[in-house]
Amino acid sequence: MTNEVTLGALERRIDMSVALADIEREVDSRLKKMARTVKMPGFRPGKVPMKMVEQTYGAQARNEALGAAVERAFGEQVRSQNLRVAGYPRIEPKEGSAEGSLAFSAVFEIYPEITPADLSGKSLERPALEVNETEIDRTIEILRKQRTVFEIAARAAETGDKVTIDFNGTLGGEPFAGGNATDFPVVLGAGALLPEFESNVAGLNVGESKTFDLTFPEDYQASDMAGKTVQFAVTVKKIEAPRLPEVDADFARSLGVADGDVAKMREEVAANLRREVTRRVKAAVKDQAMNLLLEANPLEVPKALIEAESTQLAENARQEMTQRGMDASKMPFEPKWFEDQAVRRVKLGLLLAEVVKQNELQAKPEQIRALVDDYAQSFEEPAEVVKWYYSQPQRLAQAEAIVIEDNVVEWVLRNASVTDKAVAFDEFMGHTNR
């Protein structure tokens, strides 16, 4: 006997019953199987009296038989009604069982029915920008700054210099935690120390000392010092001025151009820039496309899937901290912290699966290979990277997932209205402070 009840948009309950006689037959069968191999003191294997086997293992066999009967009955009902169950059912005993039967209820969630919406009325903007000679020059300048060397300077400290100092800080005449250091190197203007501190160091020569007051900001990271005024005594021990490398053959070789050809170096910088621009434009468009899909297809998703995804995201965060060398064992990672992200991921996962199925957007082998080849180009030995990918199925599966997402994005672009929008290079690339 079965009875399906709708409890919510996705929650269902099925009331069922199983015959006690069937359960008892299953218990008897399980006990007979156990009796063939069970060991007890004073008896050879297979010779233990059935009554002793039942006394010892009867409760275990009955629980297993009951669980199997319930699972079998639930599975039959799910299949007969074509229900797509999300997560695991919650089994509850039901009062009022008919004679000779055991009644129970299975409460569970189902996957939502999804019909992807028409996107013809939707629109998105694709960033449009070019890599020109100015951007190549700016990038080379950044690369020069990354290879700055410092040389002893016989003058007062200036912004950009690396200055080695001793300092002692006091609060009300008493030292405080983190307020003292010896032979401390700092590049003035790099933001490692508070601007007020660095401005008092600028202008000092080697061997000179200075005492000054400093008030920590109200939002200072060390909350016990926020807003407090302290006194620092600073002594300059060494001043080193920055020197940027010349754009010559040595510089080109430092960037991996073996023959030191500066023109070839510029070509490689340009190629890398264009590759990065393409990657960022693609990421921006993909983000918009996914948001558009979510907006056009509002849906409720099973709580069981959200809970599972939240738990996985929390575990991923824990593993990432461990990989960075931090002790994550004492840090709480509550799945609920990741719930919003989990909801988005679950919704997108269900939407993408349906869009892929209905529009035949599965990844083709040649698409996967093209993606791997493109990724490998940023390494010194592309062929080895390709070989590494194809040596493990799970790595290829990751590439396949990316291709499928790309196919969905292309599908969105074909069905929605797309407008190219010119954007400032520095702003788009995150170089606003260059």
Single-letter residue type at 7: L
Helix, coil or strand: residue 283: helix
The DSSP code sequence of 84-99 is -EEEEEEEEE-S-PPT
CB-based contact 421:288 (threshold 8 Å): no
Q: Which two tokens stand for residue 394?
A: 């799970």
Pairwise CA distance, residues 342 & 143, whole Å: 39
Whether residue 154 is contained in a domain is answered as yes
Whether residue 115 is contained in a domain is answered as no
The confidence score (pLDDT) of residue 212 equals: 96
Same domain, 30 and 90: yes
Q: Per-residue pLDDT for 432 more than 60?
A: no
Q: Which two tokens stand for residue 399?
A: 């590439």
Q: How confident is the model at residue 96 (pLDDT cuts 50, 70, 90)?
A: low
The confidence score (pLDDT) of residue 42 equals: 82
Same domain, 313 and 218: no
Region 262-277: what's the mean pLDDT? 93
Whether residue 84 is contained in a domain is answered as yes
The confidence score (pLDDT) of residue 37 equals: 85
Q: Where are the alpha helices (DSSP H) in 324-392?
A: 339-359, 365-376, 382-390
Q: Domain boundary residue among 243, 270, 287?
A: 243
CB-based contact 402:278 (threshold 8 Å): no
Listed ranges 60-69, 216-225, 260-269; the one with the highest mean pLDDT: 260-269
CATH classification at residue 317? 1.10.3120.10
CATH classification at residue 105? 3.30.70.1050
CA 65 to chain centre: 42
Whether residue 141 is contained in a domain is answered as no
Whether residue 138 is contained in a domain is answered as no
**CB proximity list for 25: less than 8 A, separation 6 or greater:** none
Single-letter residue type at 270: A
Residue range of the domain that includes 398: 123-132+252-429
Q: Domain boundary residue among 225, 243, 261?
A: 243
The phi, psi pair for 307, rounded to 5°, reads -65, -45
Pairwise CA distance, residues 166 & 177, whole Å: 15
Same domain, 184 and 95: no
Same domain, 238 and 261: no
Pairwise CA distance, residues 278 & 266, whole Å: 18
Q: Across the strands, what pairs with 236?
A: 165
Same domain, 88 and 182: no
Structurally, the chain folds into a number of domains equal to: 3
CB-based contact 39:9 (threshold 8 Å): no
Nearest alpha-carbon partner for 15 in 95, 80, 84, 87: 95
Same domain, 279 and 421: yes
Tally of residues, the chain? 434
Same domain, 278 and 416: yes
The DSSP code sequence of 245-270 is PPSSHHHHHHTT-TT--HHHHHHHHH
Q: Per-residue pLDDT for 14 more than 80?
A: yes
Residue with tokens 């156990």: 34
Q: Domain boundary residue among 210, 225, 243?
A: 243
Q: Per-residue pLDDT for 433 more than 50?
A: no
Q: Model confidence over 323-346: pLDDT tens digits? A: 888 777 777 788 999 999 999 999
Pairwise CA distance, residues 110 & 91, whole Å: 15
Distance (Å) of CA 290 to CA 59, 221, 415: 52, 36, 13
The phi, psi pair for 355, rounded to 5°, reads -65, -45
CA 179 to chain centre: 37
Same domain, 233 and 259: no
Q: Model confidence over 105-157: pLDDT tens digits? A: 889 999 999 999 999 989 999 999 989 999 999 999 999 999 999 999 999 99
Nearest alpha-carbon partner for 216 in 193, 234, 182: 193
> How much is the pTM?
0.71
Same domain, 81 and 178: no
Same domain, 310 and 380: yes
Region 419-431: what's the mean pLDDT? 87
Whether residue 388 is contained in a domain is answered as yes
CA 269 to chain centre: 29
Pairwise CA distance, residues 144 & 147, whole Å: 5
CATH classification at residue 188? 3.10.50.40
Whether residue 118 is contained in a domain is answered as no
Whether residue 390 is contained in a domain is answered as yes
Look at 42-51, 65-74, 92-101, 425-434 and tell me which has the smallest mean pLDDT. 425-434
Region 53-65: what's the mean pLDDT? 88
Same domain, 288 and 315: yes
Same domain, 217 and 257: no
